[in-house]
Amino acid sequence: MRLSKMHINTLREAPAEAEIPSHVWLLRSGMIRKLVSGVYGFMPLGYRSVRKIEEITRQEMDATGAQEIHMSAIQPAELWMESGRWHVMGPEMWRVKDRHERDFCLGPTHEEIFTDIVRSEVSSYRQLPLNLYQIQTKYRDEARPRFGLMRSREFVMKDAYSFDRDWEGLDKSYKDMYEAYERVFARCGLTFRAVEADSGAMGGNASHEFTALADVGESEIAYCDSCDMAATTERAAVKDAPAAEEAELPLEIVSTPGTKTIDAVAEYLELPKEKTIKALLLAVYGEDGGVREYVAAFIRGDRELNMTKLVNALGVPEHMAAFADEAAMEAATGCVGGFTGPVGLHDCKILVDSELTGMKNMCAGACKLDCHMINVNYGRDYKGDVVTDLKKIREGDPCPACGAPTRLARGIEVGQVFKLGTKYSASMGAYYKDDNMKDHLIVMGSYGIGVTRTLAAIAEQHHDEDGLIWPVPVAPYHVIVTVVKADDKEQSELAERIYGELLANHVEALLDDRDERAGVKFKDADILGIPVRITVGKKAAEGVVEYKPRAEKKALELGAAEAVAEATRFIRDRL
C-alpha cells in the first residue's frame, strides 16, 4: 500500500480523554476513533491489526477441531428467561424492545444461544464432543467505560462453547482450549499469566483467567514464586493466621467515645489492629429492589473484605448485595454504625471469617453507641451462621498452597475459560441419548477472548516514547519503505524496486511516497509502530539504504538487496 493513497490521520497531540499509553497511541496513530463513551470504530490500520488477532485466534481454534459459526448479536429474552439469567444479569445487559414491545438483548455473551442450537441439533452421543465458536461483536452497558478499548461497551469477542458427554470429556475440552489460549496470546506477543479465577455469574465450577501483565490493568492477581499458585485476588484463598494460645478472659464492655473506625478504636484502647474485629454491614436485595435480608460480616480489623467470597458464601449474584443503608439496618437488626459487633445482633445473617474462630480476647463493637466489647471469643460469645474465608489476599500473605510469601501483580483480562458443567443444559434442557437410548445432560464449557481488548493489551505492552512497536504477527503492515525525497528520481525508483521485491516475498509492505519532509515520515512510521523501516535516501544512487527495526535505536546501512533479504528474514522469523 502506498501511503500517498492511504487514509491515515496521525495526531500530533493526544486527545484529552486518553490517560493510558495504549489509549493515547491507538488514538494518535489514528487506528481507532471514538464514537461515544465506550464505543470505538476501527480505521484502516487498526482494523488490519484486529483482523490479524482474529485470524490467529481462528487458526488456533480450528487446530483444536473447533468449528466457526456466526450467530446474531440480537437475542430474544425468552432464552435468557429459560436459563434464569434475564433477571440475574442486571443493568449491564443492553436490553431492547422491538416494535411489538417484545424483549430482546444485545448479546453480552452467547451461552443461551449456543445451548439452544445444540439442544435442537444434537441428539446422539455420536455427535459429541462438539466445540463451536464465533468471532462477533458483544455489548455490555458498562457502568463506567474506561481506557478506550480496555473496557468498552461494544467489543469484539471470540467465544467458544464445548459440548461433551461427561465431565472427563469436559476436562479434555477445557485443557485443549486452555492450551490454545496460551498459543494465541504468545503469538500476539503478550506477556501473560493464566490464573485461577472466580466463575461469577457464568456459573460452573472451574475457571481460569488469562491476564496480560500491565500496571494499568484492572485485574489484580496473586501468585507465588515458590510454587505454581496463581489466582485472581478475588479467588485467591487466604491462609488463616495461626490460632492464639491464650486463656479466655471475661467479656467486658468499655467506653470508647467517638471511635467509629478500627484505627480510632485501636489507638484509643492501645490495641494492635490484629486484636480487633471489623463489621461490614450489607443488605441482599430482591428483584423488586427491596431488602431481602441483612448481613453482617466480621473479619479481623487489619483485613479487607473480599466481596466475591462474600457473595459466593451468600449464594447471591454480586449486584444483588451491597453495603446497607445504615439507618434502616440499625432499626431492623440492632446494629450501631461504627460500633457494631457480633454480640447483640438480631434478624441478621452473621458471616464470620474463619480466621476469627482461632482469635482470642478480641475487641469488637458492642452494638451500643460509643462502646466496644473486649475479650470477645468465638464460640463462647458469638457464632456465625456461615464461617468461611472472607478476606482479601495481601502482598506477602503466606501462599495458600506452600506458605511462601504471596506476590501481587496487575493485569488486563484478555481471556477466560469456564467449566460450566450442566448449568445451561439443565436449565434449558440440552440432552443427548447414549447407546441405550438413555437421556443425559450435555456437559458444557465456555471460552472467551476479548479480541479488541487484546489489541489494547498489546499496545500497552509494546510502545515507547515515540509510539507503538507492534509485534510482527499483529502489525498492520510489516515493513515501511520511507522515501526521503519523493521527487528524487533515483530515490523513488529504488524505493519502488524494494517495495516490489518485498511484496514478491509476501512481506506486507508500505511505501511512504508522500510529498512530505523526511521528519514527518519518520515520526509517522514510529507512531504507527511498523516493525521494520527501510529508508531510501542520500545513498540511493549507490544502491545503499538504511535498515532499522522499530525497536532498535540505530539503523544499519545495507545494500538494497541485502535490506530486502534482511527484512524478509526478520518478518518470517517472527510470524
Closest to 133 (Cα-Cα) out of 155, 111, 110, 161: 161
Q: Does residue 322 bind RNA (CB under 7 A)?
A: yes
> Edge-to-edge strand order for the sheet containing 94-97?
74-76, 103-106, 94-97
- From candidates 193, 360, 538, 574, binder to RNA by CB under 7 A: 538
State how far the Cα of 56 lies from the Cα of 182, in Å rounded to an integer. 12
Q: How far apart are CA 514 and CA 494, in angstroms?
A: 15
Among 87, 517, 569, 572, binds RNA (CB under 7 A): 517
When the beta carbons of 122 and 321 are compared against RNA, the nearer one is 321
- Contacting range for RNA; rule: CB under 7 A; set: 52-60, 120-128, 313-321, 337-345: 313-321
Q: Applying CB under 7 A, which of residues 418, 432, 470, 547 lies at the interface with RNA?
A: 418
Q: Is 143 in the site for RNA (CB under 7 A)?
A: yes
Cα(194)–Cα(48) distance, rounded to whole angstroms?
Answer: 27
Q: Binding to RNA (CB under 7 A): which residues in 161-220?
A: 199-202, 218
Residues 18-37 that bind RNA (CB under 7 A): 19, 28, 34, 36-37
129 near RNA, rule: CB under 7 A: no
Nearer to RNA, 213 or 374 (CB): 213
CB of 387 within 8 A of CB of 378?
no
Peptide bond into 129 cis (omega under 30): yes
Least Å from the CB of residue 506 to RNA: 26
71 binds RNA (CB under 7 A): no
Nearer Cβ to RNA (347/542):
542
Residue nearer to RNA on the CB measure, 30 or 377: 30
Of 267 and 557, which CB lies nearer to RNA in the complex structure?
557
Identify the helix (H) or strand (E) that includes residue 407: strand 406-421
Q: 142, 166, 182, 562: which one contacts RNA (CB under 7 A)?
A: 142
For 25, 92, 432, the CA distances from 465, given in Å and listed in that order, are: 10, 36, 57
Tell me how far, at minimum, the Cβ of 487 lies from RNA, in Å.
7
Shortest distance, CB of residue 491 to RNA, whole angstroms? 8
Are the beta carbons of 399 and 405 closer than 8 angstroms?
yes
Phi, psi (degrees; rounded to nearest 5) at 529: 75, 30
Residue ranges of alpha helices (H) inside 41-127 are 44-63, 77-83, 85-88, 111-121
- Which residue number, 372 or 423, has a Cβ lying nearer to RNA? 423
Neighbours of 444 (CB within 10 A): 27
CA–CA distances in Å: residue 395 to residues 222, 236, 406: 8, 12, 6
Which of 51, 555, 565, 574 forms a contact with RNA (CB under 7 A)? 555
Q: Residue 324 and residue 15: Cα distance in Å, rounded?
A: 40
CA-to-CA distance for 501 and 533, rounded, in angstroms? 15
C-beta neighbour count of 556 within 10 angstroms:
13
CB of 486 to RNA, least distance (A): 8
Q: What character string, x for contact with RNA (CB under 7 A) and - otherwise, covers 99-128? A: ---------xx-------------------
For RNA, which is the closer residue by CB, 359 or 528?
A: 528
Q: What are phi and psi of 445, to 5 degrees?
A: -135, 155
The closest alpha carbon to 562, from 575, 546, 541, belongs to 546
DSSP conformation letters of 420-442: EETHHHHHHT-EEE-TTS-EEEP
Nearer of residues 105 and 362 to RNA, judged by Cβ: 105
Measured from the CB of residue 302, what is the shortest distance to RNA in angstroms? 18
Residues 259, 312, 535, 568: which binds RNA (CB under 7 A)? 535
Residue 211, all three cell numbers: 491476564
- The DSSP code sequence of 182-218 is HHHHHHTT--EEEEE---GGG-SSEEEEEEEE-TT-S
Q: Which CB atom, from 277 or from 283, has the smaller least distance to RNA?
A: 283
Give the bridge partners for 547, in sequence order: 534, 556
Please report how close the Cβ of residue 371 comes to RNA at its closest, in angstroms.
Answer: 29
H runs (alpha helix) in 485-535:
489-504, 518-528
Pairing verdict, β 130-139 and 67-68: parallel
Helix, strand, or coil here: 198? coil
Cβ neighbours of residue 173 closer than 8 Å, sequence gap 6 or more: 129, 131, 162, 164, 445
Instruction: Mark residues 364-403: x for contact with RNA by CB under 7 A, - for none.
Output: ----------------------------------------
Distance of closest approach, residue 554 Cβ to RNA, in angstroms = 9
Choice from 74, 243, 520, 556 touching RNA (CB under 7 A): 520
Under rule CB under 7 A, residue 54 binds RNA: no
Instruction: By CB under 7 A, tell whether 17 contacts RNA.
Output: yes
The amino acid at 107: G
Residue with cell 477445557: 174
Closer to RNA at the Cβ: 375 or 446? 446
Residues 245-284 that bind RNA (CB under 7 A): none
The answer to whether 138 contacts RNA (rule: CB under 7 A) is yes
Closer to RNA by CB, 363 or 486: give it: 486
Smaller CB separation from RNA, 40 or 298: 40
Closest contact distance (angstroms) between CB of 473 and RNA is 22
Distance, in Å, from the CA atom of 521 to the CA atom of 511, rounded to the nearest integer, reads: 11
Candidates 10, 75, 312, 425; binder of RNA (CB under 7 A) is: 10
Applying the rule CB under 7 A, the residues between 444 and 483 that interact with RNA are 448, 450, 466
Number of residues that bind RNA (CB under 7 A): 63
For the CB of residue 150, give the shortest distance to RNA in the complex, in Å: 9
Query: Which chain residues interact with RNA by CB under 7 A?
Result: 10-17, 19, 28, 34, 36-38, 90, 92, 108-109, 138, 140, 142-147, 151, 157, 199-202, 218, 307, 317-319, 322, 416, 418, 448, 450, 466, 484-485, 487, 517-520, 522-527, 535, 537-539, 546, 548, 555
